[in-house]
Amino acid sequence: MSTMVLPHEKQSHAHHDDRSFIQKYVFSTDHKIIGIQFLFMSLLFLVLGGGLAMVVRWQLGFPNQPMPGGGFFSEAMMNKGIMLPEMYNASVTMHGTIMVFFAIMPLLVGVWANYLIPLQIGADDMAFPRINMASFWMAFVAGLLMVASFFVVAGPANAGWTGYAPLSANPEYSGVHTGQQLWCLSIILLGFSSLAGSVNYITTIVNMRAPGMTWLRLPLSTWSLFITSILILLAIPVLAGAMILLFFDQTLGTTFYQPEHGGQPLLWQHLFWFFGHPEVYILILPAMGFVSDIIANGSRKPIFGYKAMVFAMAGLAFLSWVVWGHHMFMSGMQPMLGGAFMVSTMVIAVPSAIKTFNWLGTMWRGNIRFHSPMLHAWSFVALFVIGGLSGIFLANTPIDIPLHDTYFVVAHIHYVLFGGSLFGIFGAIIFWFPKMFGRLMNDTLGKIHWAITFVCFNMVFWPMHKLGTMGMMRRIYDPTQYPHLQEATPINHTISLWAFALYGAQIIFVVNFFWSLFKGPKAGNNPWEANGLEWVAPSPPPHGNWDGELLTVYRGPYEYSSPEAEANGTDFILQSEKPSSRQGAPGMAPAGH
Amino acid sequence: MDHAVEQMKVDERLEPGVHVYNMKFGMWVFLLSEVMFFTGLIGSYIILRFAHPEMWAEPGKVLNVPLTGFNTFVLICSSVTMVKSFAAIQNGDQAGLRKWLVATVGLGALFLSIQAVEYYKLYHEGFAPSVAMYKAAGGPLYGATFYTMTGFHGAHVTIGVLCLIFTSWRAFKGKYTATSHAGVEIMGLYWHFVDLVWIILFTIVYLM
C-alpha cells in the first residue's frame, strides 16, 4: 500500500525478529522453516513407506508364516498373524503411493526447492511466502488423509499405486470403499499443494534472482528444481482431473472408467501415465541437480559441460511428455504407435548419457574428497546407470512383452528411485544439513550408513532382475503357489533378509541425524568450501537470509581450482566475490569457467 | 497483500528477471496449469464421445441452447466490465472502478444463477450424472461429462465471484490507485481465462 511500509519491512528483517513462536516455527512464511517442516514430514513418511515394504517382503520371503507383530492388525487383514491377500494388496499399494507422493517427491521438491532456491539465487524469501506456507499445510492435511485411510473399515486403497480402473473405480471389485476415496482426495489435495509450490518456485527463480545471477550462473540444483517445477505445474493438473473423474466413479455413480456403461479403463491409463511419466522425471531431476553440486564440490573441479547439463535436463523434461505410452505396451496398443513410443523412449538415453559422462568428466583427475555426501553422489551415478540401462530393456516393445509387470520392472524402478533419487536425497541432506541446522553430521557414521545401505540395496534389488526373467509377477501375494516360481523361493527368502537389514541400517542415519542436530560440531558458514550464495549466509541463515544485505553475483557456481582462486591460496571462489580483474564482470562470463 | 511492496521489490531487482511483477507473473504461471486441467477434461470428453457417439443426443435436444447462449453472452459482458474497471483505475477513476467491479460481480452471479436453474431443470428431466438415475435421451456418459465439465467451470466462476467481491471490498476502501492496482489486474487475468474456457466448453458441450 503506502511506500512507507518498505523500509520498515526491511529493517525488521535485518535487525530484530519479533515473531511469536507459532509464527516462527508452525505457521511460518519463512522458506527455510517450510523446507525443514517438509523434511521432517517426508522423513516420517519415508519410515512408514519403508515399513510397508517390510510387510510386503515378509509375505514374499516367508509366505503363510505368522508375521512378527501381526497380532496388532484387524482380522480383516491378518488371520492369527498370517497375512491375508487384502493386507498384502493394501501394503503394496500404500508403499508405492506413500513413497512416490509423500516421501520422495516432497523430499526432493518440497524440502529443497523451498530451502535452496532463495538461498542459491540470492533472494530474501520466496515470491509468495503465504502461498508457500499454505502449500506445506495442504501437504500436511493430505498426509493425514492418507494415514487416516489405514483406520477405516476395509482398510486403505488396494488397487495399486497406479490405481488402475475399473479395479479402483468400483468398490465391488476391490472390496475397499472409503479407503480408495480417501486415497483420491489425499492425492488431489497434495496436487494443490504441489501446484502452489511450483507457481512459487517458478516465479521466484524467474523474478527474484540477485543482480548478476544470470541464467547460466544458476547452480544446477536450482536449474533442476526450476525444470522440475515446470513439469509439476503441467503434469499435476492432468492427474487431478483423472483423480476427480475416478472419485466421481466411486461416489456419484458415473462410469468414466467402467466399460459396462461406455466408460474406458484405457482412458485412466492414458491420463495417469501422461502425468506419470513426467512424474518419473520430477522424481529424478532434482537429485541430478544436487548430485551435480556435490560432485563438483567433492572433486574440486568445475562441473564438466555446465551448459550441456542444463540442456540435457531440459531435453529430459521435454522427452518425458512424449513417452507415456511405454507404460502401456501390454494394454492393447496399435503396434505402429508402440514403435513410436519405443523410439521416443530410447532417445531418453541420449541426455541421460550426457549427464552421466559429464559427472564422470567432472570427477576425472579431480582432487576428490571422499566425504559421505560425495559417496552418496557417486553411488547415485553408478546406480542410476544400472536403472537407466534396464529402462532401455523395458523400452523395447518385444522385450517388454515378457518382462512387463514382472519383478524386472520392480528392480528397474527401485534402481532409479532408491538407487537414484534416495541416494541423492541422503547426499543432499548430509551436504546441506550444516546450513540448515548449523552443525555438521558425523562423517564416520555417514560412511558406515552409506556402505551398509549400498551393499544391502544391491543385494535386495539386483536379484529382482533375475526374478523378473523367471516370470515372477510384480504384485503377487504368494509366489509359491505357481509351479514355475518354485525356484524363486530361496531368492525371495534371501532378498527379504537383506531388505530387513537395509531397513534396519537406516537407524544409523536417524541416530546420526538427531545426534548431530544437538551435538554435532558447529559448522562455519562454508564447511564444504563451496561457491554458492547459500554458503555466504550464516549457518543457519537468519530470517531474510543475509541480514538484509543485497548480494551481487560476479561469477558462476563451479569455479573450483581456478587460477584466480589459487592466487588467493584456496581452491574455491564464492559467487559473490568481486573479481580482481575485468574478467567476470556482472552479466558477462558464463558458469563453469 | 502489499502491492506497492511487491512492486518495489521487483524494481530493486530489475536486472535479472522478466519485467513483470511477481503476482502477475505468478498468475500467468498458475493459468498455465489451469489450461492443462481443462485440457485433460476436454481430452477425456473427446475420447469418450468418439468411442460412444450414440450416448450423445442431438445438440439442443436435451440441453437448452438458447438459455445457455444468453448465459454465454452474460459472461462475455462480465469480461467487458472487468476491462472497464481496470481501465478506470489505470486513470485513477475510483468511482468507475467501483461501478464496473460491482457490475462484474453482478454479471458473474447472474451467470451462476442461470446455471443453477439449468441444472435444476435438467436434473428433474432425468439428465443425471449417475448411471442409475439417467433417463434422458442419449446415455449416462452424456450427463456425467456435462456435469463434470460445466460444474468445474462453474466452480471456477464461483471462486472468481468470491475473489471479485473481495476486490470490490478493497476498492470501496480505496486500496487501489492509478499506480498501484495489481489486485485488479490479476483478478482480470483470471476472470478472462474463465470466460475463455467457457467459450470453448459452450462450443463443444452444447453446440457440437
Cβ within 8 Å, pair A262-B51: yes
Whether residue B72 contacts residue B202, with contact meaning beta carbons closer than 8 Å, is answered with yes
- When CB atoms are compared, the residue of A1, A253, A271 closest to B40 is A271
Q: What angle do CA A339, A340, A346 make, to 5 degrees?
A: 90
For residues B15 and B196, the model is more confident at B196
Q: What is the pLDDT of residue A550?
A: 78
Nearest to A473 by CA among A169, A155, A88: A88
User: Residue A211: its chain B contacts at CB < 8 A?
Assistant: 13, 15-16
pLDDT digits (tens, 9 = 90+) for A123-134: 999 999 999 999
User: Residue B130: its chain A contacts at CB < 8 A?
Assistant: 252-254
Distance linking the first and last C-alpha atoms of chain B: 43
Residues 273-292 of A with CB under 8 A from B: 274
- When CB atoms are compared, the residue of A5, A6, A237 closest to B37 is A237
User: Residue B5: its chain A contacts at CB < 8 A?
Assistant: 5-6, 9
User: Residue A234: its chain B contacts at CB < 8 A?
Assistant: 32-33, 36
Q: Which residue of A has its CA nearest to B18?
A: A207
The whole-angstrom separation of Cα B103 and Cα B95 is 12
Query: How many of the other CB atoms lie within 10 Å of CB of B189?
Result: 17
Query: How many of the other CB atoms lie within 10 Å of CB of B7?
Result: 18
- Alpha carbon of residue A403 to chain centroid: 26
Cβ within 8 Å, pair A587-B15: yes
The answer to which of A545-554, B85-94, B115-124 has the lowest mean pLDDT is A545-554
The whole-angstrom separation of Cα A185 and Cα A247 is 8
**Residue A473: beta bridge partners?**
A406
Determine the distance in angstroms separating the CA of B180 from the nearest CA of chain A, rounded to an integer: 8
Q: Which residues of chain A are under the pLDDT cut of 50?
A: 1-15, 582-593
Whether residue A573 contacts residue A558, with contact meaning beta carbons closer than 8 Å, is answered with no
Q: What is the pLDDT of residue A446?
A: 96
Average pLDDT, chain A: 91
| Residue indicated by cell numbers 471456477 | B156
Cβ within 8 Å, pair B29-A203: yes
Whether residue A117 contacts residue A545, with contact meaning beta carbons closer than 8 Å, is answered with no
Whether residue A373 contacts residue A427, with contact meaning beta carbons closer than 8 Å, is answered with yes
Q: Name the pLDDT band for B6 (thresholds 50, 70, 90).
A: low
Q: Which residues contact A244 (CB under 8 A, 6 or more apart)?
A: A184, A188, B148, B152
- The C-alpha cell at A441 is 553430521
DSSP summary character for residue A79: E
Q: Please give the C-alpha separations between residue A318 and each of A227, B131, B192, in angstroms, as whole numbers.
A: 10, 39, 29
Q: What is the pLDDT of residue B13?
A: 47
Length of chain A counted residue by residue:
593
pTM of the model: 0.93
Phi, psi of A405 (to 5 degrees): 60, 30
Q: What is the pLDDT of residue A326?
A: 93
Residues 173-192 of B with CB under 8 A from A: 175, 180
Cβ within 8 Å, pair A253-B139: no
The whole-angstrom separation of Cα A385 and Cα A422 is 15
Helix, strand, or coil (residue A334): coil
State the SS3 of chain B.
CCHHHHHHHHHHCCCCCCCCCHHHHHHHHHHHHHHHHHHHHHHHHHHHHHHCHHHCCCCCCCCCHHHHHHHHHHHHHHHHHHHHHHHHHHCCCHHHHHHHHHHHHHHHHHHHHHHHHHHHHHHHCCCCCCCCCCCCCCCHHHHHHHHHHHHHHHHHHHHHHHHHHHHHHHHHCCCCCCCCCHHHHHHHHHHHHHHHHHHHHHHHHHHC
pLDDT digits (tens, 9 = 90+) for B141-197: 999 999 999 999 999 999 999 999 999 999 999 999 999 999 999 999 999 999 999
Q: Which residue of B has its CA nearest to A252?
A: B130
The whole-angstrom separation of Cα A224 and Cα A287 is 8
Cβ within 8 Å, pair A233-B32: yes
**B2, B24, B37: best to mutate for the A interface, most A CBs within 10 A:** B37
- When CB atoms are compared, the residue of A1, A203, A267 closest to B4 is A1
Q: Is A549 on the interface with B (CB under 8 A)?
A: no
Q: How many residue pairs from chains A and B have C-beta atoms closer than 8 A?
A: 146
Cβ within 8 Å, pair A238-B12: no
Cβ within 8 Å, pair B17-A261: no
Q: What is the pLDDT of residue A115?
A: 96
Residues 18-77 of B with CB under 8 A from A: 18, 20-23, 25-26, 29-30, 32-34, 36-37, 39-41, 44, 47-48, 51-52, 55
Residues 282-341 of A with CB under 8 A from B: none
User: Residue B56: its chain A contacts at CB < 8 A?
Assistant: none
Q: Which residues contact A466 (CB under 8 A, 6 or more apart)?
A: A491
Rg (Cα) of chain B, in Å, rounded? 20
Cβ within 8 Å, pair A263-B5: no
**Residue A406: beta bridge partners?**
A473
Cβ within 8 Å, pair B22-A203: yes
**A188, A234, A255: best to mutate for the B interface, most B CBs within 10 A:** A255
Q: What is the pLDDT of residue A512?
A: 97
The whole-angstrom separation of Cα A167 and Cα A158 is 9
pLDDT digits (tens, 9 = 90+) for A288-342: 999 999 999 999 999 999 999 999 999 999 999 999 999 999 998 888 999 999 9
Q: What is the pLDDT of residue A42?
A: 96
Length of chain B counted residue by residue:
208
Average pLDDT over residues B110-116: 97
Q: What angle do CA A552, B24, B84 make, to 5 degrees?
A: 145
